[in-house]
């Protein structure tokens, strides 16, 4: 036994910990970020804007930049025989005749753009971080074109 160690929460058994963490329980990244920022808003000693900046700079922007880099250097693979090529063969398809597919999709690059926009609108973010995100968004739009918005049928329903 160890004595003279100060603690904040008494426990009968050290192994009596939660089986699943909140990170595992919360499925989507949106839920995880919402929970993290919600907790930051509740704790008085925590600067919620600083937490929002850290989420954007350390997670979202790094992921977007990494996926953009990977997309520009990506390989293609055959859907039939799973052969991988650094460059698309001159005949435009696999030597087995199968269809070639990109290994990184547009969705993988755009997946954190909307959550980042939402955080930027809700919290005070430094101008530098905002400019960094704006430039990345322009890069994505120049690479893939502007993301088309799907309109609902109610928009065409004239009364």
Model confidence pTM above 0.75: no
> pLDDT tens for residues 110-139?
999 999 999 999 999 999 999 999 999 999
In the sheet where 100-102 sits, what is the strand order? 84-85, 76-78, 100-102
**82 in the Ramachandran plot: left (φ > 0), alpha (ψ -120 to 50) or beta?**
left
Longest dimension (CA), the chain: 78
Q: Domain boundaries in the chain?
A: 47-141
Cα torsion 64, 70, 74, 79: sign: negative
pLDDT at 159 over 60: no
> pLDDT tens for residues 102-118?
888 889 999 999 999 99
Question: Parallel, antiparallel, or unpaired for β 84-85 and 76-78?
Answer: antiparallel
Q: How far apart are CA 32 and CA 61, in angstroms?
A: 17
Q: How far apart are CA 150 and CA 134, in angstroms?
A: 23
> pLDDT tens for residues 47-98?
999 999 999 999 999 999 999 998 888 889 999 999 999 888 888 889 998 9
């Amino acid at each position: 036994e160890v004595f003279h160690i100060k603690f904040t929460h008494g426990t009968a058994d050290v192994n009596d910990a939660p089986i699943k963490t909140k990170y595992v329980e919360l499925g989507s990244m949106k839920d995880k970020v919402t929970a993290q920022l919600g907790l930051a808003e509740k704790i008085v000693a925590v600067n919620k804007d600083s937490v929002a900046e850290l989420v954007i700079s350390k997670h979202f922007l790094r992921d977007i930049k990494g996926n953009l880099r990977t997309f520009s250097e990506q390989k293609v693979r055959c859907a039939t025989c799973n052969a991988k090529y650094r460059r698309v063969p001159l005949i435009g398809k696999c030597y087995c005749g199968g269809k070639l597919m990109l290994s990184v999709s547009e969705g993988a690059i755009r997946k954190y753009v909307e959550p980042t926009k939402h955080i930027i609108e809700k919290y005070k973010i430094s101008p530098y971080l905002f400019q960094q995100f704006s430039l990345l968004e322009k890069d994505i739009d120049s690479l893939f074109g502007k993301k088309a918005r799907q309109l609902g049928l109610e928009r065409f329903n004239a009364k």
